[in-house]
Amino acid sequence: MKYNILSLGILFLLAATMGACIDDQGNYDYRAESEIMPAVISGLESEYTFQLGSTHELTANVEGVEGVENLRYMWYVYGELKKKRDTLGYGKKLNFKVDWESGNYFLWFEVRDTVRDVCVDYKMGVTVESFLSTAWLVLESTGGMTDVDVVTADGSLKENLLSSGGQARLKGKPVKMAYTYKHEQEEEKGDGKVEVVTKKAFYLLSEKEIKVYNAENMELLKTAEDCFYEVPAVIAPMDCNMDSDAQLINDGKYYYLSGNSANVGKFGYAKLGPDGTTDYDLYGGILPASQAAMVWDKRSCSFLYIYAYNAQLGYFNEQVDGKEDFGSVTDMGAELKYLLYRSQVYDINVYAYITMGYGIMEKQGEYYIADIAFNNKSDYPLKGWYKLPADCKIIHSEVLGAHQTTASIFFASDDELWIHDVRNVADVSLRERKLFTFTGEKIACIRHIKIARGDFDCLTVLTNTGGNWKLYTFPFIGGGNEFDTTVPAEDVLIGKGEGEANSFLRMYQGGAY
């Protein structure tokens, strides 16, 4: 009996299984998307650029759904800086104020049948800019106090961003301005809890102060006292480099703040020198690399290697056998006159970015150019060593700027802009030549700015005359180091303002150059 029941059961299951596979014609009915949800959206652009704080009205035209009920029209935004979808409003018309951080977003308009839960949407790219995110920022001083002037994208000038906004100028003359897209800041929320938020920020360095400002609106985020867990005895900022990590030289000592770790945007204690003590005194310049840097110690007359996670600065290795050796970079018996950053280039042979730069060196009354190339390791960092003939004008220059891709250095000689080709040729006329004269103006800063995405490749020169500054840009021709030297100065003038300027930043497409 049991056997019969079991047999019948198996037969039944077999029949059912077979039946499921026989003559299955399916019931597929492919229908066009427009048939299911026939809404057609028009009247909107695919790309928008909005100024931070501006208000806008967008109106969508929706056709093809006449007579359809239960429709919902919705606008929402998300993007890199708004990772969660943020609903802006409902209806075909949207009035809104742009209060998002500057950056890139996607704005969506959606028409949804709320009964059938089907929708049609339209995606718009939105770039939000603050007046600072596309501006030239010039660090200048009046009466020995530092402020920032701004030349906006439309060429208009805003003088004294700090003092005109009711904020104090920085004490002392300007040293440097730097930008970071990732500054961590403690903010007290309404419930009294402190939250760490990421801000885009400017570091402003003067001879006597360091302050951090919100890069969207110049709100003061940190004073010098807030920038450190323990404020150094002397605040004398000399140089800084800001990327995801922050590097600072203050009073000859090196400070590092890792951007890859949980932090509150404060520097810790200065790193120790190569002998494990604080007995070192750095030149005010940093050649940055990934989680590393190269600096010059005036006390030991050595280039020093810095790795972010080492407590001590270290010496570079000597050259390995078989490779061209230009002499040790430790205890060089030389003085570094100028440290020039060129660029960082990815080297597929070592799978790392190589930091390129030049050092103008004086050794026993003779001058040299150290051609520097180092990755983030302590490998021997010189790839060239060029003796400068005594009549080279570059020896006496105090304002220099390297071309990023060609072996050349622009420098100031009185009111003249010159170029020096980095090569071993005895004839100085083949190495140096005058390019341009800014009659009666003193050159304060020279920099090659190259923005690949922005198709911007210019030599930018900042000059001072009679308590006023002027900023010029000379577009390079064909990616090389040449530009039209016959152009009238006023044709390449970006802006001018009051004050004695020393440096500038070019804000563009979410970055600083």
Partner 1 sequence: MKKLFNYILGICIILGNMCACQQQGTEMYENDPRIFFARGDRGYGQQDSIMHSFFTVPEDQDRDTVFIELKTMGFPAEVYRPVKIIQTNAGAVNAAVPGIHYVAFDDPSIANQFAVAPGKVAVKIPVILLRDKSLETGKVRLEMTVGMNEYFQPGIDKDRNFMVQTTAMSEKPTNWDTYWIYTFGDWGSKKMWLIVNYVGYSNFDESISDTGYRDYLKLKAHTKLAEYNQTHTQPLCENPNQHHQPGETCKDCVLFP
Of 276, 333, 479, 480, the residue at the interface with partner 1 (CB under 8 A) is 276
d(CA 416, CA 437) in angstroms, rounded, equals 4
Place of tokens 């003088």: 159
Residue 4, H or E segment? helix 2-21
450 binds partner 1 (CB under 8 A): no
CB of 510 to partner 1, least distance (A): 25
Strands 468-475, 493-498: pairing kind: antiparallel
- Of 48, 96, 108, 269, which lies in the binding site for partner 1, with binding defined by CB under 8 A? 269
182 is a contact residue toward partner 1 (CB under 8 A): no
Out of 183, 271, 447, 450, the only residue in the binding site for partner 1 (CB under 8 A) is 271
Say how many CA atoms lie within 13 Å of 90 toward its Cβ. 3
In degrees and rounded to multiples of 5, residue 394 shows phi and psi of -60, -25
Residue from 25, 42, 46, 261 touching partner 1 (CB under 8 A): that is 261
Q: Which of 19, 91, 268, 467 is the binder for partner 1 (CB under 8 A)?
A: 268
Cβ atoms of 422 and 468 closer than 8 Å:
no
State how far the alpha carbon of 330 is from the alpha carbons of 78, 198, 289, 336, 460, in Å. Answer: 52, 39, 20, 12, 34
Question: Measured from the CB atom, is 258 or 406 closer to partner 1?
Answer: 258
Coil vs helix vs strand at 256: strand
* Per-position x/- string for 289-318, each x denoting binding to partner 1 as judged by CB under 8 A, each - no binding: ----------------------xx------
Q: Which 3 state secondary structure label does DSSP give 491? A: helix
CB of 230 to partner 1, least distance (A): 7
Q: Nearer Cβ to partner 1, position 45 or 279?
A: 279
| Cβ atoms of residues 449 and 463 within 8 Å | no
Q: In the complex, what is the shortest distance from the CB of residue 115 to partner 1, in angstroms, rounded to a whole number?
A: 45
Beta strands in 154-235 (DSSP E): 157-158, 170-171, 174-188, 194-206, 210-214, 220-222
Report if residue 198 touches partner 1, rule: CB under 8 A. Answer: no
Nearer to partner 1, 167 or 258 (CB): 258
Residue 261: CB minimum distance to partner 1, A: 4
- Choice between 312 and 465, CB closer to partner 1: 312
Q: Which of 82, 92, 158, 266 binds partner 1 (CB under 8 A)?
A: 266
Taking CB under 8 A as the criterion, the residue among 54, 278, 424, 437 binding partner 1 is 278
* E-assigned strand segments in 130-173: 136-142, 145-151, 157-158, 170-171
Shortest spacing between CB 511 and partner 1, in angstroms? 24
Residues near partner 1 (CB under 8 A) are: 229-230, 257-258, 261-266, 268-272, 276-278, 311-312
